[in-house]
Structure 1
């Protein structure tokens, strides 16, 4: 039968053969992509993160994704350096973690990333001195209170977006990386955003999206620079997660809880320079990539205008 098929194919015009070959290659490419997606999301084993070192440093560790990462890292047997601006919240999170994982050693670093960066980095440098810090989770970040046009972004918000999302992430990495380089092992995870990568644009969140685009490129460059030195650098690109920053209270299938995201995030740690760790988010990414950019831009603009309208209404009620 196979011989008959080949003989039949030979009798066809050249253009039919070319179309057949192109179609076969397309099917093969799609099949490989689907099988790869299934493998990396469901079958690929996670790395043993303890091989990187016995300590992990997490910024923005008192709420949301950062707090969830801290718990998951403690569950994996790592000691923690928790960075946050609120002393009471840091103590509460530390106590909560140690009540569940009594063997976990925890150091708290009080550091307001919108404040004096030099002083904060000095505190981190002192805290990690002599410790085998193998994992860095650069999670701390800020967004807009709600969607707004660029000309409506005040100076304080503009400065804080750049200071926290760009400068602080860069400086914390600069403080932790040299010791990893000496030990020739380490993992750095920078939390990016779908606002910069998944969708073609994020209107009414321009500065936030731009700072997260920096994080993506920064991570990719470091990945290439240090991959031969035993250091894995990765930018994780989540879509919506049920956090205070996203103003989402309830989780769902497409909007994971911080814990759900952190579990997925650790499974991807050490694999690939960029990832969408929570697999339903990758389905949304594929769908958005299949649509024309102008259509996604139009949808996103309308969506963000509604967020802006609700935010302005809430502000006006507060003033009354």
Structure 2
């Protein structure tokens, strides 16, 4: 009988830990569902009448802009690099919703250059005097996609860091002073499950690193400005269906976890102000839960294999090589910009 005691204690301990884990997951899911059923916040009344959205011409950014204007009635400052697409989304919003819009031309890959400083000055001028209540830092890039670190010229990685890290930081710095003066505001930074929730993201290492910055930056700013009426939040999507998705890549994903951009935006806007880090989409929360059921070593091996398959697809679609010589000086890489990572923000 004495020999059975240690085994009974071990079994009881493991069963208790399992019950605690399941209970915690169930509590989080119930809290998520409760928020989905709760009456949406009045963002205009709580934060302000204007929102700034970066990268608003496609994907998550476009859907977020339409959601903020349509359901929430916020006026919009749209910040992007393509003048024709900015005019298009601005015209569509004004035609379909009773809101005002402003557009600011800004190529975020030029941050920390003379052109970037001029664009930042235009952004500061555009928001001056506006009751900016919400900032959505959505703009980001994942290209050149699934590659080993050494296979792409370092300028491609530098460009990714400028867009995903430096631009987000600069745009936030342009908007925060006004929010602090008014004593209210919400900052939404679009992060990625690849950095905040998953143990590794091989062949997208620099992308995951930039998104890890977004998560930590958001957490710390949330503490820093929470007492001043500013809610800072990192929203964490996994797979979101956008126009960038290559049909050749779709077979590598579980489609039930790939959320349409409009559905993601509707959930994301509802989550504004609820927590420093959140996963707005129910399918994405399920994906997070299932990923956590595997040992890290098993997950790492499976993710590496999946991304190697993606890499093979990219190479088959359009062969590429590491840039050298003049192309490296231009910051060009021998990959197709349109295939990118295939999916916006995992």
Q: TM-score, normalised by structure 1?
A: 0.88
- What per-residue deviation string (whole Å, max 9, x for no partner) do you get for residues 119-167 of structure 1? 2211110000100000000000001232100001213311210100000
Question: What is the 5 A alignment of 1:11-26?
Answer: none
Deviation at 1:18, TM superposition (A): 10
**Could you tell me which residue of structure 2 aligns to residue 190 of structure 1?**
189
SS at match of 1:196: helix
Question: What is the 5 A alignment of 1:113-124?
Answer: 113-115=108-110, 116-124=115-123
Q: Structure 1's 131 and 211: CA in aligned 2 closer, same or farther, altered over 3 A? A: same
**Could you tell me which residue of structure 1 aligns to residue 94 of structure 2?**
98
Deviation at 1:195, TM superposition (A): 1.2
Q: CA separation in 2, counterparts of 1:21 and 1:240?
A: 36
Kept in 1, the 8 Å contact 2:48–2:185? The answer is yes
- Is residue 43 of structure 2 the alignment partner of residue 46 of structure 1? no
Q: Structure 1's 74 and 22: CA in aligned 2 closer, same or farther, altered over 3 A? A: same
Question: What is the 5 A alignment of 1:111-260?
Answer: 111-115=106-110, 116-247=115-246, 252-260=255-263
**Could you tell me which residue of structure 2 aligns to residue 297 of structure 1?**
300
Q: CA separation in 1, counterparts of 2:316 and 2:18?
A: 50
Question: What is the 5 A alignment of 1:245-284?
Answer: 245-247=244-246, 252-284=255-287
Deviation at 1:245, TM superposition (A): 4.3
**Could you tell me which residue of structure 1 aligns to residue 79 of structure 2?**
83
Q: CA separation in 1, counterparts of 2:164 and 2:13?
A: 48
| Unaligned residue ranges in structure 2 (runs of 5+) | 321-333, 336-346
**Could you tell me which residue of structure 1 aligns to residue 26 of structure 2?**
34
Deviation at 1:22, TM superposition (A): 8.4
Kept in 2, the 8 Å contact 1:237–1:276? The answer is yes
Q: Structure 1's 29 and 149: CA in aligned 2 closer, same or farther, altered over 3 A? A: closer
| Unaligned residue ranges in structure 1 (runs of 5+) | 1-12
Kept in 1, the 8 Å contact 2:144–2:156? The answer is no
Q: CA separation in 2, counterparts of 1:30 and 1:44?
A: 24
Q: CA separation in 1, counterparts of 2:10 and 2:231?
A: 43
Kept in 2, the 8 Å contact 1:117–1:168? The answer is no
Deviation at 1:43, TM superposition (A): 3.5
SS at match of 2:319: helix
- What per-residue deviation string (whole Å, max 9, x for no partner) do you get for residues 21-80 of structure 1? 985686466335413422323334432211200000000011110010000000111000
- Is residue 73 of structure 2 the alignment partner of residue 74 of structure 1? no
Kept in 1, the 8 Å contact 2:51–2:74? The answer is yes
Q: Structure 1's 17 and 307: CA in aligned 2 closer, same or farther, altered over 3 A? A: closer
SS at match of 1:216: helix
SS at match of 1:200: coil
Structure possessing the higher radius of gyration over alpha carbons: 1
Kept in 2, the 8 Å contact 1:191–1:237? The answer is yes
Q: CA separation in 1, counterparts of 2:307 and 2:28?
A: 34
**Could you tell me which residue of structure 2 aligns to residue 61 of structure 1?**
56
Q: CA separation in 2, counterparts of 1:285 and 1:119?
A: 41
Which is worse superposed, 92-101 or 56-65? 92-101
Q: Structure 1's 21 and 202: CA in aligned 2 closer, same or farther, altered over 3 A? A: closer
Q: CA separation in 2, counterparts of 1:36 and 1:203?
A: 28
